Amino acid sequence: MEKNSPQHLANASSRNGSVLVDDRPIGWLANELFKVDWNPLVENRRFKPMEGHLEILNEHQNAPDEDWKRLYFRTKDGRFQWFASHCADEHPISDILLTGTTISANKDAWTISIRGGKEDANLVVRVPSNVFEKWHQALLSHASSSLVDAYIQPTWPPVPHRKNRVVLLELGRHVISAGLLTQKPSLPYSYFPAFCAVGEQFDDKSGGTRTMVTSGVSAFVDHQTNSSGWHLKRPIELKDDGNVVEFDDNVLRAVLQRALISDAAMQANAMDIRFRPQDYLVLLAIPHTFPLRAASELLKLLLDTAQYGFKGVSIVRQPTLVLYSYDVTTGVVVDLGEEMAIVPVIDEFVVDDAVKIVPFGATQIREQMRKGVADLQQMLAIFGGKDDEAAATAAEQLLLRYIVEKSCYVSANSIEEERSAGIKDALVELVNRRHTLKVNGELRFMAPEGLFRPQLWALELPGLHRMVHEAIQTCPIDSRRTLYRNIYLTGGTSQLRGLAERLEHELAQLAPASVPVQVLNSPWRRHSAYLGTHVIAAGDDFEKCCVNSKNLAEYLSRIDGD
C-alpha cells in the first residue's frame, strides 16, 4: 500500500483511534459519520433547464407593432439558443454564451436583458409574466456557472508546506478538525466529535479507581460499553448568555492531545517530516459566537511550555475562513448545523448588527425523523445502549443523523407538486449492508421543510430565506447587491440535496426584481472553514499575526480592555 494513499492514512488513523476499527454496530456508525471522505459531494445543480416561446426585438420590422418577434428559446449547457420552429432541435438560428454575462430583470416591462460575457452579448427578450421568474432564475444559473466551481479544491496527496510549519485546529461546537498545513489545501487529518467519554475505572496497581477519558469516535463505544457511571462531556461548555464558559481540564487536554500532538505527529510521519510543537505555529479557528476571552485561555494553554509549548498562536473566526475557501472576502455565510447562523461579511469584516443566529436546525430535523420512522426503535436495539438512557439517547442521535444524511432532501416544489410527482421511499443500508431501514417518501422532504417553514416545527420564527434576506437588508445599501450574489453554504445540514436551489428560489421572491440571487455550495462545504485556514496559514506574514510568549501579556491586556 502506498504510504501517502488515502487508505494508508485511514489505516494509520485507525491505529490511533481517530477512525475506530470496531465490528460493533455503534463503532461502524460512528466511523461512517466521522470519516474524512476525499470524494466530493457531487450534485447536479449547475444549470436550470428552461425552454419555451419568448419575444425578441425584431431587427427587420416593417411596422411599429412588429417590434417584437416570437421565437422558441431554450437554455442548454451554459448557452441561450433560439429556433425558427415551434420546438427545440439541433439547429438553432443563433445562440449566445451565457457564462459570465450580466442578467438584468425588468418586471415593469417583463423583459430580461443579457449583456457582456466572453462573447460580449447584448440581447433583450420579453417574457410572459407567468413564467418570468422561472426564466430569470434559469438564465442566472447559466450565467453564474463559471462561479459555481470557484472554490478551493483539496489536493491529494498532501505535501508539507515548503516554508510554514503550522498546525490547523478548527474548534467547532460539535466537531473538531485538525491537521498540518500542506503545500496545497487538504482535508483535515483529524475529524472527531467535540466531546469525550468520561468515567471511573478500577486501577489494579493502586487498588482504587481512576478517571478515564476517551476521545474520538471511540468515545461512543466506551460510553456504551461502560454505560454505568460513564457520560459524554464537552471540553468547553458555553452557557446560555454565550459569555460564561466552563472548561473541563481532563476532557480539554484529551482533545488537544489527540488533535495537536498524537494525530499531528502521525500525519508528520506519513509525510516524512519531523514534528515538534516548539517548531510549529497554531491557527485556531473558532465559531462566530465563541467568546474571545475563552479562546484566549486556550491560547495561553497552547503557548505554555509546561503544557504544549507551541511557537505561536493565531485566532480566526470561522465565517471569514469560509469565504476564503471560496476565494472571496465579501459574502453571506450561511452556517447550518445544530443551529443556524447567518453572518454577512464585507471586505473580511463581519457586519455584527446583521448577524442572525437561531437555535434550531439539525436537531429539529432529527426529531421529525424520530417521530416518523416506523422501525426506529427496533433498529436502535441493534446499536445497543438500551439498558442505559444516556447511552440509548447518544446512539439514537447518531442513528438519526445517519438516516437524515442518507435519505433526506429539500423539496424544490410545493408539497402538492412533490406528491404528484411521485415520491419514492428510501432504503437506508446499515452496518455494512447487514440491515436496512425504510424511510417514508414524504418524510424525506417534510422533515427538513421546517428550515423554510418553522411553524411545522411549532416555532414562531422566520424561515431560513427570510433570515438571510433580513440580514442582507440590515447591511449598508451599497453592498446589498453584492451580498445577494454571494451567499455561501457551510455546515453539516447544508449537505441536504436541493437546499441551495430552494434557498435561491425563495430569496429571489424577496429580493428586488433587478437583483440576481446566487447561492454557492462547494462539494467540500462540510470542511470549508478548515480549507480556508490553509489560505491564511500559508501567507508569508502569517507568523507576524501570531501571539507568542513575548507579546502574550500585551495581547491579553487588549482583550481585557475590550
| Chain segment 213-263, per-residue pLDDT in tens | 888 888 888 877 775 678 888 888 876 555 556 788 889 999 999 999 999
Given the C-alpha cell 516524512, which residue does it identify? Answer: 272
Question: What are the tens digits of pLDDT across the range 364-395?
Answer: 999 999 999 888 888 888 886 555 566 668 88
DSSP3 helix / strand / coil % (the chain, rounded to 5): 40, 25, 35
At residue 6, the pLDDT reads 47
Q: HSE on the CB side for 97, CA within 13 Å? A: 9
Point out which residues pair with 282 in neighbouring strands: 167, 313
Amino acid identity of residue 11, one-letter, is N
Q: Delimit the domains of the chain by residue range.
A: 6-32+154-322, 50-148, 361-450
Cβ proximity of 167 and 281 under 8 Å: yes
At residue 16, the pLDDT reads 38
- Specify the fold of 6-32+154-322: Nucleotidyltransferase; domain 5 (3.30.420)
Edge-to-edge strand list for the sheet holding 166-171? 190-193, 175-180, 166-171, 281-286, 312-317
Biggest CA–CA distance in the chain, Å, is 104
At residue 15, the pLDDT reads 35
Q: pTM (2 decimals)?
A: 0.81
Given the C-alpha cell 477519558, which residue does it identify? Answer: 213
Dihedral pair phi/psi, residue 327, rounded to 5°? 65, 40
Exposure string for 403-442, b = 16+ CB within 10 A, e = fewer: bbebbbbbbbeeeeebeeeebeebebebbeeeeebebbbe
Residue of 436, 437, 461 lying closest to 451 (CA atoms): 461
Query: What contacts 417, CB < 8 A, 6 or more positions away?
Result: none
- Other C-beta atoms within 10 Å of 77: how many? 13
Hey, what CATH class is 361-450 in? alpha beta
Instruction: Write out the three cell numbers for 316.
Output: 480566526
Residue of 283, 298, 361 lying closest to 531 (CA atoms): 283
Query: What contacts 533, CB < 8 A, 6 or more positions away?
Result: 168, 170, 181, 283, 285, 316, 321
Hey, what CATH class is 50-148 in? mainly beta
C-alpha dihedral (477, 148, 535, 14), degrees to nearest 10: 130
Instruction: Give the ranges where 17-80 is alpha helix by DSSP (H).
Output: 25-34
Low-confidence ranges of the chain (pLDDT < 50): 1-20, 61, 63, 147-148
Helices 25-34 and 218-225 pack at an angle, to 10 degrees, of: 150
Cβ proximity of 284 and 316 under 8 Å: yes
